[in-house]
Amino acid sequence: DADVTQTPRNRITKTGKRIMLECSQTKGHDRMYWYRQDPGLGLRLIYYSFDVKDINKGEISDGYSVSRQAQAKFSLSLESAIPNQTALYFCATSDPSSGRGTGELFFGEGSRLTVL
Protein backbone atom coordinates (compact mmCIF):
# COMPACT_ATOMS: atom_id res chain seq x y z
CA ASP A 1 0.00 0.00 0.00
CA ALA A 2 1.16 3.52 -0.81
CA ASP A 3 2.34 5.69 2.09
CA VAL A 4 0.56 8.74 0.63
CA THR A 5 -2.82 8.01 -0.93
CA GLN A 6 -4.88 10.40 -2.99
CA THR A 7 -8.52 10.02 -3.97
CA PRO A 8 -9.93 10.26 -6.52
CA ARG A 9 -7.15 9.52 -9.01
CA ASN A 10 -9.16 10.94 -11.87
CA ARG A 11 -12.16 13.24 -11.87
CA ILE A 12 -14.11 15.04 -14.55
CA THR A 13 -16.50 17.72 -13.43
CA LYS A 14 -18.34 20.77 -14.70
CA THR A 15 -17.78 24.46 -14.14
CA GLY A 16 -19.28 25.66 -10.89
CA LYS A 17 -19.28 22.29 -9.11
CA ARG A 18 -17.68 21.81 -5.72
CA ILE A 19 -14.86 19.28 -5.73
CA MET A 20 -12.87 17.73 -2.88
CA LEU A 21 -9.58 15.92 -3.31
CA GLU A 22 -8.51 13.83 -0.36
CA CYS A 23 -5.10 12.82 0.87
CA SER A 24 -4.22 10.38 3.60
CA GLN A 25 -0.80 9.25 4.79
CA THR A 26 0.60 6.45 6.90
CA LYS A 27 4.07 7.93 7.33
CA GLY A 28 3.23 9.69 10.59
CA HIS A 29 4.48 13.00 9.24
CA ASP A 30 3.23 16.29 10.64
CA ARG A 31 3.76 18.32 7.47
CA MET A 32 1.43 17.98 4.51
CA TYR A 33 1.23 19.88 1.23
CA TRP A 34 -0.96 20.32 -1.84
CA TYR A 35 0.68 21.11 -5.18
CA ARG A 36 -0.70 21.75 -8.62
CA GLN A 37 1.08 20.79 -11.85
CA ASP A 38 0.09 22.05 -15.28
CA PRO A 39 1.37 20.32 -18.46
CA GLY A 40 5.03 21.01 -19.09
CA LEU A 41 5.41 23.05 -15.94
CA GLY A 42 6.74 22.52 -12.46
CA LEU A 43 4.79 22.09 -9.26
CA ARG A 44 3.24 25.10 -7.61
CA LEU A 45 2.35 25.11 -3.93
CA ILE A 46 -1.32 25.68 -3.11
CA TYR A 47 -1.49 25.16 0.66
CA TYR A 48 0.57 23.49 3.34
CA SER A 49 0.05 22.47 6.93
CA PHE A 50 2.60 21.83 9.67
CA ASP A 51 0.11 20.33 12.09
CA VAL A 52 -3.63 19.97 12.57
CA LYS A 53 -4.03 23.56 13.79
CA ASP A 54 -1.67 25.12 11.26
CA ILE A 55 -2.71 26.00 7.69
CA ASN A 56 -0.66 28.22 5.39
CA LYS A 57 -1.23 29.63 1.93
CA GLY A 58 1.20 28.82 -0.82
CA GLU A 59 1.85 30.54 -4.15
CA ILE A 60 -1.57 29.96 -5.71
CA SER A 61 -4.21 29.57 -2.99
CA ASP A 62 -6.95 31.67 -4.64
CA GLY A 63 -9.93 29.52 -5.56
CA TYR A 64 -8.89 26.70 -3.21
CA SER A 65 -9.45 25.83 0.44
CA VAL A 66 -8.09 23.05 2.63
CA SER A 67 -8.97 21.12 5.74
CA ARG A 68 -6.60 19.20 8.01
CA GLN A 69 -8.98 16.78 9.66
CA ALA A 70 -6.28 14.79 11.44
CA GLN A 71 -2.54 14.34 11.33
CA ALA A 72 -3.00 11.79 8.58
CA LYS A 73 -5.60 13.58 6.46
CA PHE A 74 -5.42 16.77 4.38
CA SER A 75 -8.18 17.66 1.93
CA LEU A 76 -8.20 20.19 -0.89
CA SER A 77 -11.48 21.76 -2.02
CA LEU A 78 -12.44 23.74 -5.06
CA GLU A 79 -15.58 25.57 -3.99
CA SER A 80 -16.65 26.44 -7.53
CA ALA A 81 -14.47 24.75 -10.11
CA ILE A 82 -13.44 26.59 -13.27
CA PRO A 83 -11.75 25.23 -16.41
CA ASN A 84 -8.35 26.78 -15.67
CA GLN A 85 -8.20 24.62 -12.53
CA THR A 86 -7.82 21.62 -14.80
CA ALA A 87 -4.49 20.16 -13.69
CA LEU A 88 -2.70 17.32 -11.94
CA TYR A 89 -2.81 17.74 -8.17
CA PHE A 90 -0.26 16.22 -5.82
CA CYS A 91 -0.33 15.76 -2.09
CA ALA A 92 2.98 15.43 -0.25
CA THR A 93 4.26 14.92 3.29
CA SER A 94 7.54 15.62 5.03
CA ASP A 95 9.21 15.41 8.41
CA PRO A 96 12.61 17.08 8.80
CA SER A 97 13.47 14.99 11.84
CA SER A 98 12.89 11.55 10.34
CA GLY A 99 14.90 9.29 8.06
CA ARG A 100 17.68 11.16 6.32
CA GLY A 101 16.78 14.39 8.10
CA THR A 102 16.52 16.19 4.79
CA GLY A 103 12.91 17.31 4.95
CA GLU A 104 12.36 15.10 1.92
CA LEU A 105 8.92 15.43 0.31
CA PHE A 106 7.02 12.18 -0.19
CA PHE A 107 4.41 12.50 -2.92
CA GLY A 108 1.18 10.71 -3.65
CA GLU A 109 0.39 9.40 -7.12
CA GLY A 110 -1.59 12.46 -8.10
CA SER A 111 -5.21 13.35 -8.81
CA ARG A 112 -6.01 14.36 -12.35
CA LEU A 113 -8.86 16.88 -12.40
CA THR A 114 -10.63 18.03 -15.55
CA VAL A 115 -13.11 20.90 -15.34
CA LEU A 116 -15.36 21.23 -18.38
Partner 1 sequence: LAKTTQPISMDSYEGQEVNITCSHNNIATNDYITWYQQFPSQGPRFIIQGYKTKVTNEVASLFIPADRKSSTLSLPRVSLSDTAVYYCLVGDIRGQNTNAGKSTFGDGTTLTVKP
- What amino acid is encoded at 3 in this protein? D
Question: Using the rule CB under 8 A, which residue among 5, 20, 50, 75 binds partner 1?
Answer: 50
Sign for the pseudo-dihedral over CA of 97, 22, 81, 39? positive
User: In the structure, how many helices (H) and strands (E) does the chain have?
Assistant: 0, 11
DSSP states of 53-97 as a string?
Answer: TEEEE-TT-TT-EEEEEETTEEEEEESS--GGG-EEEEEEEE-TT
Check binding of 39 to partner 1 (CB under 8 A).
Answer: no
Q: State the minimum distance, in angstroms, from the CB of residue 36 to partner 1.
A: 11
Stretch that binds partner 1, among 13-21, 64-72, 76-84, 99-107 (CB under 8 A): 99-107
Check binding of 64 to partner 1 (CB under 8 A).
Answer: no
Stretch that binds partner 1, among 16-24, 47-55, 66-74, 75-83 (CB under 8 A): 47-55
Nearer to partner 1, 17 or 73 (CB): 73
